[in-house]
């Protein structure tokens, strides 16, 4: 596998350009997601306060499922933007049929990372970094959970410190968004996510080109 040399500045610049170009659609998706999640959480809490266990359980579960579908839609749309495809809001749900694979992959990822953290902490951090692209691979390549985790491990070989730098840059930029009265997050969140998507795309192209 060829080595991909990260250019964080290039990725952030790309993210900024995509955010500017598609700001209103991205803004609408963020508002839709935030509003829907808030409403579901409020209803769930209302049932909990009234002692209605099953109502609380149902809406908590539904909120969790909804958030998973939102994450799938966000990744799919980001990949479409990356390929300069025309995007409409209905595309947000194009990959919803991958929900079960996404769920199983997330459970596997969580168990692997927790297991690593229990061992000596450092293995957990390594696992979190190396397996992190499983979500993209499930949605982009429609791999099953085990295939996605395996491919993520392969494509991040030798990229650990580079990915840590990317993570720190994303955290730093979003902290600036928080400092800007929180409103800045409507810019920094999509900007850093587009940058992250670009990095995934470059690693994936190199990885799959070797096969």
**pLDDT score for 91:** 87
Rounded distance between C-alpha atoms, residue 18 and residue 25, angstroms: 11
Which residues of the chain form beta strands (DSSP E)? Answer: none
46 in helix, strand or coil? helix
**pLDDT score for 194:** 95
**pLDDT score for 73:** 93
**pLDDT score for 50:** 87
Q: Answer whether 203's CB lies under 8 Å from 166's CB.
A: no
What parts of the chain have a pLDDT lower than 70? 1-6, 209-211
Could you tell me which residues come within 8 angstroms of residue 196 by beta carbon, excluding any fewer than 6 positions away? 11, 15, 166, 170
pLDDT digits (tens, 9 = 90+) for 83-132: 888 888 788 889 999 999 999 999 999 999 999 999 888 888 999 999 99
Do you know the residue count of the chain? 211
Rounded distance between C-alpha atoms, residue 36 and residue 40, angstroms: 6
Rounded distance between C-alpha atoms, residue 175 and residue 161, angstroms: 21
**pLDDT score for 2:** 57
**pLDDT score for 210:** 61
| pTM of structure | 0.87
């Amino acid at each position: 596998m060829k080595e991909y040399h990260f250019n964080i500045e290039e990725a952030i610049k790309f993210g900024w350009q995509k955010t500017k170009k598609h700001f209103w659609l991205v803004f609408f998706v963020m508002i839709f997601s935030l509003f829907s999640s808030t409403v579901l959480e409020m209803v769930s809490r209302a049932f909990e306060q009234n002692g209605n266990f099953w109502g609380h359980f149902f809406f908590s579960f539904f909120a969790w499922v909804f958030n998973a579908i939102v994450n799938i839609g966000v990744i799919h749309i980001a990949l479409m933007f990356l390929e300069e495809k025309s995007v409409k809001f209905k595309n947000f749900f194009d990959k919803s049929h991958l929900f079960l694979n996404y769920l199983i992959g997330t459970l596997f990822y969580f168990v692997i990372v927790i297991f690593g953290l229990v061992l000596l902490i450092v293995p957990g951090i390594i696992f979190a970094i190396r397996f992190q692209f499983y979500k993209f691979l499930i949605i982009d390549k429609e791999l099953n959970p085990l295939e996605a985790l395996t491919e993520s491990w392969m494509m991040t070989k030798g990229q650990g410190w580079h990915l840590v730098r990317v993570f720190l840059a994303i955290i730093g930029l979003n902290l600036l968004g928080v400092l800007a009265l929180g409103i800045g997050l409507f810019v920094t969140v999509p900007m850093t996510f587009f940058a992250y998507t670009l990095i995934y795309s470059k690693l994936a192209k190199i990885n799959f080109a070797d096969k």
